[in-house]
Amino acid sequence: MSADALLEVRDLVMHFPVRGGVLNRVQRRVHAVNGVSFDVRRGEVLGVVGESGCGKSTLGKCLIRLLSPTAGSIRYEGTDLAALGHGDLMPFRKKMQMVFQDPYSSLNPRMTVREAVREVALFHGVVSRDAADAYVSELIQKVGLRADAADKFPHEFSGGQRQRIGIARALACKPDLLVADEPVSALDVSIQAQVLNLLMDLKDELGLTVVFVSHDLKVIEHFCDRVLVMYLGNVVEELDCERLHADARHPYTRALLGANPINDPADRRPLTVLEGDVPSPFTLPPGCAFAGRCPVVEPRCRAQRPPLELKTCGHAVACLLEPGA
């Protein structure tokens, strides 16, 4: 689409088969991601927001090929990652890293911080064995930990510090792209602010491109340049974060904004309450996935699936009721 795209995702589909029965046949499929297309621009922070089960984490894992998508393409500087095998992917693994939500379960409890970070750097050949120790020490200080942290084990750290270790580990192979899956969701607000600031500084310093997956619209709005709003495996809206409040047009995005409590007792308003439940990801409705909960639903919404259409520059909406540009 554009020259500055680091990653071009087209019609990405990820279905998980559910096996069962006597013959262990595939009985049904979880439709986690259903044909999603977007670009990740070089140097931007792209937010992915949605409720649990909307496919945002699956999408993040597909982007860096921790999962092999069922269909669609993920072009990284022109190469389709979705088509590559294990060996051919190796050079790209180095360029894309992930920061996970729970920094405790994603760090090996038997490895010191130094070992965990050094392993990544040496495996990808970023530094020589002799220079590794100095490299690790530098990295540890860069993420705001004291130098003596290097020889401690993960259990000796608090949640916020562990997340810093997770970030140091992800940065050890000098990636271009960082996929952060709910990196601050498990942290207290004061610690959350520390980690967000760190990510912001590192992004500027190292020129990273970040895909930031979160359920928290406040954090997304603060931290990201653009946001993809997902609902049941589809992107329903894509727009600039700065214009989120003013311009959001999809009824689901509006509902998310309205359900988010505002931090001001002087500005009390009834929170937007949606009726109905999220449809099952096993059998998707034929029309708009949001039709069952949408406050402005029309009969045609239940029959026809709305495509994600560009409305104005940089703003795309998947809703039949939104007139085109």
Partner 1 sequence: MSATRTKAVLEVRHLTTGFKTDRGVVTAVDDVSFDLYPGETLGVVGESGCGKTVTSKSIMRLLPEHLTIYGPASEVRFEGENLAFASEERMRRVRGDKVAMIFQEPMTSLNPVFTVGWQLDEALRYHTDLDARGRRQRAIEMLRLVEIPEPERRVDEYPHQLSGGMRQRVMIAMALCCEPDVLIADEPTTALDVTIQAQILQLMANLKERLSTAIMLITHDLGVVAQVCDRVLVMYAGRVIESGTVAEIFHAPRHPYTRALLDSIPKSGARAHKKRLPTIPGIVPSLFELPAGCRFQDRCAYKERRCVDAEPGLEGALGGRQVRCHFPLDGGAA
- The site for partner 1 (CB under 8 A) is made up of 51-52, 158-161, 188-194, 196-197, 200, 215, 217-219, 221-223, 225, 241-242, 245, 255-256, 258-266, 268, 270-274, 277-278
The partner residues of 87 in beta bridges, in order of sequence, read: none
Whichever of 15 and 162 has its CB closer to partner 1, that residue is 162
Whichever of 118 and 203 has its CB closer to partner 1, that residue is 203
The minimum distance between CB 128 and partner 1, in angstroms, equals 35
The partner residues of 49 in beta bridges, in order of sequence, read: 214, 229
Candidates 18, 17, 16; CA nearest to 32 is 16
**Which sign does the torsion angle of CA 307, 43, 254, 315 carry?**
negative
Query: 130 φ, ψ to 5°?
Result: -70, -35
Whichever of 81 and 213 has its CB closer to partner 1, that residue is 213
Helix (H, G, I), strand (E, B) or coil at 118: helix
The minimum distance between CB 121 and partner 1, in angstroms, equals 28
Whichever of 38 and 231 has its CB closer to partner 1, that residue is 231
Whichever of 51 and 119 has its CB closer to partner 1, that residue is 51
Measured between alpha carbons, how far is 34 from 306 in angstroms, rounded to an integer? 13
The minimum distance between CB 52 and partner 1, in angstroms, equals 6
The minimum distance between CB 256 and partner 1, in angstroms, equals 6
Measured between alpha carbons, how far is 286 from 281 in angstroms, rounded to an integer? 12
DSSP for 35-79 reads: EEEEEEETT-EEEEE--TTSSHHHHHHHHTTSS--SEEEEEETTE
Whichever of 24 and 263 has its CB closer to partner 1, that residue is 263
**What crossing angle do the helices spanning 159-171 and 113-123 adopt, rounded to 10°?**
20
The minimum distance between CB 274 and partner 1, in angstroms, equals 5
Query: Distance from CA of residue 4 to its chain's centroid?
Result: 20
Measured between alpha carbons, how far is 184 from 221 in angstroms, rounded to an integer? 14
The minimum distance between CB 10 and partner 1, in angstroms, equals 29
The minimum distance between CB 55 and partner 1, in angstroms, equals 14
Query: Strands across the sheet with 309-312, in order?
Result: 96-99, 177-181, 209-214, 45-49, 226-231, 234-240, 315-317, 309-312
The partner residues of 213 in beta bridges, in order of sequence, read: 48, 181
Whichever of 131 and 271 has its CB closer to partner 1, that residue is 271
The minimum distance between CB 88 and partner 1, in angstroms, equals 37
Measured between alpha carbons, how far is 228 from 250 in angstroms, rounded to an integer? 12
Whichever of 83 and 259 has its CB closer to partner 1, that residue is 259
